[in-house]
Structure 1
Amino acid sequence: MTLRAVLRSWVDHYFSDEEAVILLVVLVLGFAVVIWLGKMLAPFLTALVIAFLLQGGVNALTRRRIPHFLAVMLVYLAFLGVLLAMALVLLPLIWNQLVNLVQETPRMFASGQQLLDDLQARYPQLVTPDQIQNWIGMAGREVTQLGQRALSLSLASLGNIVGLIVYLVLVPILVFFMLKDRDRLVSFAVSLLPRQRGLMTRVWQEMDAQIANYVRGKVTEIVIVGTVSFFTFAFFGLPYSALLAVLVGLSVLVPYIGAAVATVPVAAVAGFHFGVGDQFLYVLIAYGVIQALDGNVLVPVLFSEAVNLHPVSIILAVLFFGGVWGFWGIFFAIPLATLLKALVYAWPRGIQQRRQEEKAAHQDQEVVEEP
């Protein structure tokens, strides 16, 4: 069989149905809008994610016979309360600890140099002076680059204060109207789609529960892991507990890789503060217990309804979508990978199922028309 015949057979298999072509066009347009207009539509996309997250609370209240508008107001006021608490309590605390950490960097750098000198004195055959100088030079360059990036970021952020204020005003307003007028907005969006959308409906039905479970479960996981980490670090007297807890909480966004990356700053701060001793080991053991409970208890409970994906698929999805869309690409890497999996399973099956239904309907019509 020639290459032309193979390609033609593949195209006939996947694109011979009108709905398949329409679905492909909708997906291409959707990805194109997000890629090229993502920065411009960032407030809208952020509000859409938050509204999708809060819709579960609205549904839970309406199931208890609370009027829809009252349920929306209760959930929305709770959202504003959490937002204000983060802006007035959490963010200033994290900022102060970040400033203190930057100020303590020279002392930590000197302590690290002293530790390397001690290693060279104890193990002169394993650690040579040239290696120490290379390590110190590499660390110095990294610290210098980090300071330059922080300075450029702070200078660039001065010009974006107005944009940040507009962003903080627009997102809550959009969230409110998305919750209040959800049915009208969904009806309008559906009216823009073609009438023949059976294949899209099947794909969305496979994705809806997984996306809802993932978004709400991931936010819950971030809050739980971050809170437990904060109290654990504070119990051991570890400095920068809030900053490290936020880092550990956000690390769950990147499966497998995030936990390993977050271990480095936790171990570094604990080592510089306590030294390599019993207290240092206790902190690392407690951190390991948190990661073990997260991976073996919390994740199975929160994501029991999620589609099972192979670890290689998850890592590839994180690398690809994170490289394309940054933070949001990492956050939605698993749902997007699930979408691709649903497309792979639903696309040819949907076409075959529709053909079988049309064939069965045609045969039934012929039987009815027979005298």
Structure 2
Amino acid sequence: MDDTASDHRREQGKRMSDPHEAAGNDDLGSSPSRIDNPELRFEAQRAFVWTLVVGAVILAIYISQSLLVIFGAMVFAAMIDGGARLLGRVLPLSRMWLVLIVIGATAGFFYWLAMYAGSQISREAAALPTIVQAQINAGIAWLQTQGFDVSQTDLQGIAGNLMSGVGTVTRAIGGLLGGLSTIFLIAIIGIYVAMEPQLYERSVAWMLPRHRRAEFFETASRMGYTMRRLMAGRLVGMVFEGVFTWIMLALYGVPMAALLAILTGLLAFIPNLGALIAGGLMVMVGFSGGTDMGIYTIIVYFLVQTFDGYVIIPLIAKKTVDLAPAMVLASQLIMGILFGILGLFLADPLLAMIKVALERRAERNEEAYQAMMSEGS
């Protein structure tokens, strides 16, 4: 009896010392962290996954402004990278020197713009709101003479509500970093990325499973190529629209030709909406100098937009990123409401990157389907 009891105690102690065997022992019961019922275990796993998804969405919304700043830095880095690649075709220098040349040229342009054209532009910018308000009043008066019951107070109230809504969102984002701080962060992060883009690609790939890394590098390469082409198209369009507008308006003696040219060039970065805003300002300033000048500015606007839409964009950007105008406009409206002016500027590049990612995913699915069909046959 004693031998039997001791054997039983040794066997029980062995089972307790082996966690795997103890876990499978029905006498001990289920662990609190384990669900024996397969259906309940499956539902618990689903609930856990959905909790993670909801948490990730909430986190993305909470840090969305910071994510937008990071994406803006990627866009800025793509522009620097594109300029460095173009210089690298004619200058046998290292990448660091090519990037520094591009950054120096950009900084020099803005310095010239601030020092030599700043005083004239600031005077014109101070007088622009007065001219715009006067033209709006003249337009309302003309509509009233045509029999339309238009109240200036109502229009001002609608405009005030719109500006108040946009201003609230803009202030919310501006309160986080501030306009200048946001631009500074975008520039600094973009310069770091442009200096060594492969370093950051490898850092992101390191966090992925090994079998996903080659796929990531391929997708990142396509996104980078698309972004460079898209930004090249934007920059060329901005330069062309700004210079052409300035020449045409200055030849006719339109007031504020330099300011209108700069606004037209900057707003050319925003497809669709930017052209409408720049054209509206140009036409209003033109009609302030008379009917003939107003008609001339309308002609200039259509010439600029026609050449840019049918020559510049198809030659550079549209061959790579053929985005539907309605989708671009919808993304601009959504991003503008959510994130203000920064979201409006980045809506087009973000839509292009989403399209590249979806196209790449469709290609992978097609490749997998073809491989499955070949194995089945």
TM-score interval, smaller chain: 0.5 to 0.7
> How far, CA to CA, are the matches of 2:355 and 2:181 in structure 1?
38
> How far, CA to CA, are the matches of 1:241 and 1:219 in structure 2?
20
Select which of 195, 214, 225 maps to 1:180.
195
Partner of 1:285: 299
CA contact (8 A) 2:249 2:297 kept: yes
Matches within 5 A, 1:46-125: 46-63=72-89, 64-89=91-116, 93-104=120-131, 108=135, 111=138, 115=142, 120=145
Partner of 1:243: 259
Q: Structure 1 length normalisation: TM-score?
A: 0.68
> How far, CA to CA, are the matches of 1:106 and 1:312 in structure 2?
31
3-state DSSP of counterpart to 1:239: coil
Partner of 1:18: none
Alignment: residue pair count: 318
Point out the more displaced range, 256-265 or 284-293.
Answer: 256-265
CA RMSD of aligned residues (A): 4.1
Point out the more displaced range, 297-306 or 90-99.
Answer: 90-99
Which structure is higher in RCO with an 8 Å CA cutoff and minimum separation 6?
A: 1
CA deviations over 1:306-350 (Å, ceiling 9, x no partner): 232333333333334444444444444444434444444433541
> How far, CA to CA, are the matches of 1:33 and 1:91 in structure 2?
42
Partner of 2:32: none
Matches within 5 A, 1:5-16: none
2:207 partner letter: L
> How far, CA to CA, are the matches of 2:331 and 2:140 in structure 1?
39
2:74 partner letter: L
3-state DSSP of counterpart to 1:273: coil
CA deviations over 1:146-182 (Å, ceiling 9, x no partner): 9x96xx89xx89x98x955655655544344333333
2:302 partner letter: G
Partner of 1:315: 329
CA contact (8 A) 2:287 2:294 kept: yes
> How far, CA to CA, are the matches of 1:90 and 1:193 in structure 2?
50
How far 1:304 moved relative to its partner?
4.8
CA deviations over 1:97-127 (Å, ceiling 9, x no partner): 221123456655665566567xx3xxxxxx3
How far 1:55 moved relative to its partner?
0.8
How far 1:221 moved relative to its partner?
1.1
3-state DSSP of counterpart to 1:297: helix
Percent of matched pairs sharing the same residue: 22
How far 1:60 moved relative to its partner?
3.1
Partner of 2:313: 299
CA contact (8 A) 2:79 2:232 kept: yes
The alpha-carbon distance between structure 1 residues 238 and 182, as it changes in their structure 2 partners (threshold 3 A), is: same
The alpha-carbon distance between structure 1 residues 85 and 39, as it changes in their structure 2 partners (threshold 3 A), is: farther
CA contact (8 A) 2:284 2:294 kept: no
Partner of 2:25: none
> How far, CA to CA, are the matches of 1:323 and 1:165 in structure 2?
20
Select which of 209, 223, 230 maps to 1:214.
230
The alpha-carbon distance between structure 1 residues 34 and 45, as it changes in their structure 2 partners (threshold 3 A), is: farther
3-state DSSP of counterpart to 2:288: helix
The alpha-carbon distance between structure 1 residues 264 and 304, as it changes in their structure 2 partners (threshold 3 A), is: closer
Structure ID, larger Rg? 2
1:246 partner letter: I
CA contact (8 A) 1:221 1:298 kept: yes
Partner of 1:195: 210
CA deviations over 1:46-102 (Å, ceiling 9, x no partner): 433222211122223344421233223222221221232344455654443221123
How far 1:194 moved relative to its partner?
2.5
> How far, CA to CA, are the matches of 2:181 and 2:349 in structure 1?
29
Q: Structure 2 length normalisation: TM-score?
A: 0.67
The alpha-carbon distance between structure 1 residues 191 and 106, as it changes in their structure 2 partners (threshold 3 A), is: closer
Q: Following superposition, which runs of at least 4 residues in structure 1 exceed 6 angstroms of deviation?
A: 31-34, 358-363
CA contact (8 A) 1:236 1:283 kept: no
2:278 partner letter: A
> How far, CA to CA, are the matches of 1:89 and 1:167 in structure 2?
26
